[in-house]
Amino acid sequence: MIKRRTPFAAAAAFLVLTLPVSADQISLDDLSAYLNRLKTAQADFTQINDDGTISTGKLMLKRPGRMRFEYASPDNTLVLASSGAVAIYDPKTPDNGPETYPLNQTPLSIILNERVDLARANMVVGHDYDGTATTITAQDPDHPEYGNLQLVFTGDPVQLRQWVINDDAGSSTTVVLGAMKTGVALNNRLFTITQPDLRDNR
């Protein structure tokens, strides 16, 4: 797994959000339906890193299977999920090419699958409600050793607000989403790992 400050890496802090009040816990079926309807999305994000520092950037999502994280300066890292892989482009080592990992060995593959079924046996191991937000803890039922993903939703209407990735090394990353724009047009080139100069294709 990735050991850098990426959405697939380590962090050990939590950002407390002011969220709108949701009337009831959201069911797993309703959460699955929401994620399956979520075809494209774009949002700013704030990430709390393992050392307590904060990174910011822009997230783009195109389901199934594709995500793009553009980290703001001074980080300027680019992380892509596409074609079954995750690639990290580090501007400090441009001559070494991207560092790559199988997507299906990262917890985020759970929400990038073509069909999300949170009610699948042994996938959701936690389903909580605090009076404001519904939080689920999900894992790959066949490979719980890959870690798990905590997703935080508010309701009326359902909206994904943040996630916490607990990876296979026992560390965590919190990613908090800003206002999410859905149904946006995103060119497939934005997610192409093999393209040589990815940052020119935003």
pLDDT tens, 88-97?
A: 998 887 666 7
Give residue 188's identity as a one-letter amino acid code. N
Radius of gyration of the chain (CA): 16
Q: For residue 105, what pLDDT is reported?
A: 87
Query: Which class for 127: exposed (0-12), middle (13-18), buried (19 or more C-beta within 10 A)?
Result: middle
Name the percent of the chain in helix, strand, coil, to the closest 5.
15, 40, 45
Query: Which class for 59: exposed (0-12), middle (13-18), buried (19 or more C-beta within 10 A)?
Result: buried
Q: For residue 98, what pLDDT is reported?
A: 85
Return averaged pLDDT per consecutive 10 residues of the chain, 202 residues in all: 44 43 83 96 91 90 96 92 92 78 88 92 92 94 90 94 86 91 95 61 42
Q: For residue 154, what pLDDT is reported?
A: 94
Give residue 174's identity as a one-letter amino acid code. T
User: Given the DSSP bridges, would you call strands 147-154 and 172-177 parallel, antiparallel or unpaired?
Assistant: unpaired
Q: For residue 99, what pLDDT is reported?
A: 87
Q: For residue 22, what pLDDT is reported?
A: 52
∠ Cα 170 133 152 (to 5°): 35
Q: For residue 21, what pLDDT is reported?
A: 53
Q: For residue 97, what pLDDT is reported?
A: 74
Supply 5's token pair. Answer: 């400050």
Between CA 67 and CA 191 the distance in angstroms is 7
CATH of span 28-177: 2.50.20.10
Q: For residue 201, what pLDDT is reported?
A: 44
